[in-house]
């Protein structure tokens, strides 16, 4: 997942500036991080190369107190407002690209950087007061972005410049087209009363989205178990969650803890308790909030001329219409039905054998456990035993080595002048040939109290061409929650963890390798139904034996690699369980589109019951009296009417990966890697992504590779 703020010119006015965080427990301030070794390169060491390349390579001045954070936001709003006032007051007969669209991109840039810092601080700070202040300021900034996007003077300047019919090409032409499109979509051509109504609805929607996320962040979901209730769970995990004599506390809001128990705990009652806790997070507060959000979305869509919020949100994306997105999901649902049915029967047979009940049925809390058991019994794949091959440090360096070679890069750790927590590291990426710096990224890999509890890339400093002619190189953060080291063992990742690391690093590369001139087109600022594709594609590298052998070796005996037959079984297991895994994803996407195409809200009057019914129909029955939707942050924070994009992007990523697989050098073909870097990563959204994909592929798009990837030999109708 990638998290970013959009620029003024392409502001996605949906709610939610930031993603979910984990439950907050210990709120004591953390000590200052230990000093970085003096022998490590510094940012200053890279400045001569930056000067030669005419780029600006810089880190933020990180605010370290609530007062400093407040001051930064206040000053940024004051300065940007003053600059925008001047743009809006210009003589309409003297407009040009520099004093309109470029000026807007330049003058809103500082507040984007501040907003990105606020968002990251909210999710990663070890200080509760800082997190709370950041949440407060997120609302202020969100309201400012909404208000600014509806400014009449800026609209009239842009409209007057567009009316002059300037002769523009390439990125400049697209900037003008997208700017006027977005103004129309905001309802700026409506009468004043309706426009103000849209603005008020958007402001409410934005604030409710932030409140939704905050409620999930603060949800208290500890579930206490006795030792025998966690039978089957790895001993290493039990050590990390032990809270008393024969007492273990598992937090259902912390993903890695939840998954570990759901995949390994043999007592069904344990899995059921934890699943219900997970699916009940924030339901007392967020169900009403989300219902309000749906209402505002319907009203906005109607006011600006769309049949539904889904049509409104999808119009500027690749799919274009809700009908197209829905047809895509339903085609996959139908195509996967035989596989899904067969897999469910295999799981049911396992449960019947395990419980001695020939009439056993598979419940939602059984899915992860019996999928894991199926991999062990039918495919002889034990994910826990594979951990010894994936020591975190080895995987990280191996990943760096692979993509340094493939994309002709240099990745080096440098001293971090400031780190928000122990263990946060800072890296610089440069071009291997010219030594030109390309960007910086922080890595915050392990869980702690008060931190975002999943995996995402956060934008910090977007790339853009500065008014002085230099290019501001991007800064991002990759935030994760990998299993931490224990007293007697290093951090050992699961195979899925490794895929996740490659995926999130793909987002970082997409951001850092950008060459787009404008912030609004920079890096991952692409249509949401494409944004996952360049990172999903890198997961293919984790399935290749030769590439895995570079870094996947037993940390106790480096001569031991994962045997080829084991990898073959892993692939067989993937294909043998993908129907279940994909149907789960499809259930979320289908539910999302149903929510956002309901014309008057009557179909979802009972929100929890109606959404649970869809999830139950597409996947497996959801426990009654739970409310998955109440903590489904995707639909409150930017993926609303867009969750289909994961599958849509996955289809594109499979097609793009096929270019590597069919090339002479395979997945390490440098010529194809260069084309990916130049035609996908560097371009961002500075041209239509359909054109970028076509140029990279050297042909039109195809679904063949995707159907093969998910094990469908016959193309779904």
- pLDDT tens-digit readout, 534-580: 999 999 999 999 999 999 999 999 999 999 999 999 999 999 999 99
Nearest C-alpha neighbor of 168 from the set 100, 229, 70 = 100
Name the 3-class secondary structure at 440.
strand
Residue 487: its pLDDT value, please? Answer: 85
Cα torsion through 103, 115, 440, 419, rounded to 10: 150
Span between the terminal Cα atoms of the chain, in Å: 30
The answer to whether 314 touches 322, Cβ cutoff 8 Å, is yes
Partners of 440 in the beta sheet? 428, 475
Report the Cα 264 to chain-centroid distance in Å: 27
The answer to whether 252 touches 274, Cβ cutoff 8 Å, is yes
Residue 254: its pLDDT value, please? Answer: 84
Partners of 3 in the beta sheet? 458
The answer to whether 178 touches 10, Cβ cutoff 8 Å, is yes
Residue 38: its pLDDT value, please? Answer: 64
Report the Cα 338 to chain-centroid distance in Å: 30
CA 325 – CA 318 distance, rounded (Å) = 9
Residues 676, 426, 39: CA angle, nearest 5 degrees = 120
CA 676 – CA 535 distance, rounded (Å) = 12
Residue 73: its pLDDT value, please? Answer: 98
The answer to whether 432 touches 89, Cβ cutoff 8 Å, is no
The answer to whether 611 touches 601, Cβ cutoff 8 Å, is no
Task: Provide the whole-model pTM.
Answer: 0.90
Residue 405 known to be catalytic: no
Name the 3-class secondary structure at 251.
strand
Helix (H) or strand (E) holding 197: helix 192-217
Q: Which residues of 649-658 are buried (b: 16+ CB within 10 A; e: fewer)?
A: bbbbbbbbbb
Radius of gyration for the alpha carbons in the chain, expressed in angstroms and rounded:
25
User: Choosing from 504, 571, 678, 700, which is the catalytic residue?
Assistant: 504
Instruction: Specify the pairing of strand 471-472 against strand 55-56.
Output: parallel
Rounded to 10°, the helix 367-377/564-595 angle is 160
Q: In the chain, which stretches have pLDDT less than 50?
A: 4-34
Q: Which residues of 363-388 are buried (b: 16+ CB within 10 A; e: fewer)?
A: bbbbbbbbbbbbbbeebebebbebbb
C-alpha distances in angstroms, 465 versus 55, 124, 437, 524?
9, 29, 15, 16
Alpha helices in 378-480 (DSSP H): 383-386, 392-407
Count Cβ atoms below 10 Å from residue 305 Cβ, excluding itself.
Answer: 13
Name the 3-class secondary structure at 408.
coil
């Amino acid at each position: 997942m990638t998290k970013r703020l959009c620029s003024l010119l392409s502001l996605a006015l949906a709610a939610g500036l930031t993603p979910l965080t984990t439950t907050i427990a210990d709120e004591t301030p953390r000590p200052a991080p230990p000093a970085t070794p003096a022998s490590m390169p510094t940012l200053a060491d890279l400045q001569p190369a930056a000067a030669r390349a005419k780029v600006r390579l810089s880190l933020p001045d990180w605010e370290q107190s609530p007062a400093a954070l407040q001051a930064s936001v206040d000053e940024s709003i004051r300065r940007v407002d003053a600059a925008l006032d001047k743009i809006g007051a210009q003589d309409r007969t003297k407009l040009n690209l520099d004093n309109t669209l470029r000026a807007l991109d330049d003058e809103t840039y500082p507040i984007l950087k501040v907003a990105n810092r606020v968002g990251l601080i909210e999710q990663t700070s070890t200080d509760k007061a800082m997190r709370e202040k950041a949440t407060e300021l997120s609302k202020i900034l969100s309201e400012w972005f909404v208000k600014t996007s509806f400014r009449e003077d800026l609209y009239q300047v842009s409209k007057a410049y567009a009316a002059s019919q300037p002769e523009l090409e390439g990125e400049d032409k697209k900037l003008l087209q997208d700017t006027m499109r977005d103004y129309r979509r905001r309802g700026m051509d409506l009468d004043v009363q309706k426009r103000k109504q849209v603005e008020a609805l958007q402001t409410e929607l934005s604030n409710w989205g932030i409140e939704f996320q905050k409620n999930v962040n603060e949800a208290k979901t500890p579930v206490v178990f006795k030792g025998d209730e966690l039978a089957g769970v790895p001993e290493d995990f039990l050590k990390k969650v032990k809270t008393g004599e024969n007492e273990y506390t598992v937090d259902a809001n912390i993903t890695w803890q939840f998954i570990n128990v759901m995949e390994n705990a043999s007592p069904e009652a344990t899995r059921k308790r934890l699943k219900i806790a997970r699916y009940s997070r924030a339901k007392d507060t967020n169900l009403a909030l989300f219902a309000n959000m749906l209402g505002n979305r319907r009203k906005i869509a109607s006011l600006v001329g769309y049949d539904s919020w889904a049509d409104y949100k999808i119009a500027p994306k690749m799919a274009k219409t809700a009908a197209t997105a829905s047809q895509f999901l339903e085609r996959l649902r139908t195509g996967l039905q035989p596989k899904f049915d067969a897999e469910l029967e295999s799981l049911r047979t396992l449960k019947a054998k395990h419980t001695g009940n020939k009439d056993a049925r598979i419940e939602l809390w059984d899915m992860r456990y019996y999928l894991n058991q199926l991999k062990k019994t039918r495919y002889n794949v034990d994910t826990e035993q594979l951990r010894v091959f994936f020591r975190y440090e080895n995987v990280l360096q191996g990943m760096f080595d692979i993509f340094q070679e493939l994309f002709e890069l240099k990745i080096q750790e440098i001293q971090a002048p400031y780190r928000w927590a122990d263990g946060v590291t800072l890296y610089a990426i440069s071009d291997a040939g010219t030594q030109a710096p390309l960007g910086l990224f922080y890595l915050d890999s392990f869980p702690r109290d008060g931190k975002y509890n999943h995996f995402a890339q956060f934008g910090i400093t977007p790339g853009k061409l500065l008014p002085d002619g230099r290019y501001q190189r991007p800064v991002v953060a990759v935030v994760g929650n990998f299993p931490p080291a224990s007293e007697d063992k290093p951090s050992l990742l699961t195979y899925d963890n490794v895929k996740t690391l490659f995926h999130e690093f793909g987002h970082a590369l997409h951001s850092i390798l950008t060459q787009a001139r404008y912030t609004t087109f920079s890096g991952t600022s692409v249509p949401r139904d494409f944004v996952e594709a360049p990172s999903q594609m890198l997961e293919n590298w984790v399935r290749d034996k030769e590439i895995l052998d570079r870094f996947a070796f037993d940390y106790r005996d480096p001569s031991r690699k994962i045997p080829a037959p084991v990898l073959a079984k892993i692939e067989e297991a993937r294909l043998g369980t993908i129907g279940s895994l994909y149907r789960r994803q499809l259930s979320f996407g289908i539910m999302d589109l149903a929510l956002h195409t309901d014309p008057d809200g009557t179909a979802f009057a009972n929100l929890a019951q109606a959404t649970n019914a869809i999830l139950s129909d597409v996947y497996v029955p959801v426990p009654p009296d739970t409310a998955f939707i109440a903590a489904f942050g995707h639909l409150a924070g930017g993926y609303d009417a867009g969750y289909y994009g994961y599958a849509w992007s996955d289809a594109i990523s499979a097609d793009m990966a096929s270019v590597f697989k069919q090339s002479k050098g395979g997945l390490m073909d440098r010529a194809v890697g260069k084309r990916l870097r130049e035609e996908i990563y560097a371009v961002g959204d500075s041209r239509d992504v359909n054109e970028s994909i076509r140029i990279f592929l050297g042909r039109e798009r195809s679904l063949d590779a995707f159907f093969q990837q998910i094990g469908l030999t016959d193309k779904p109708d």
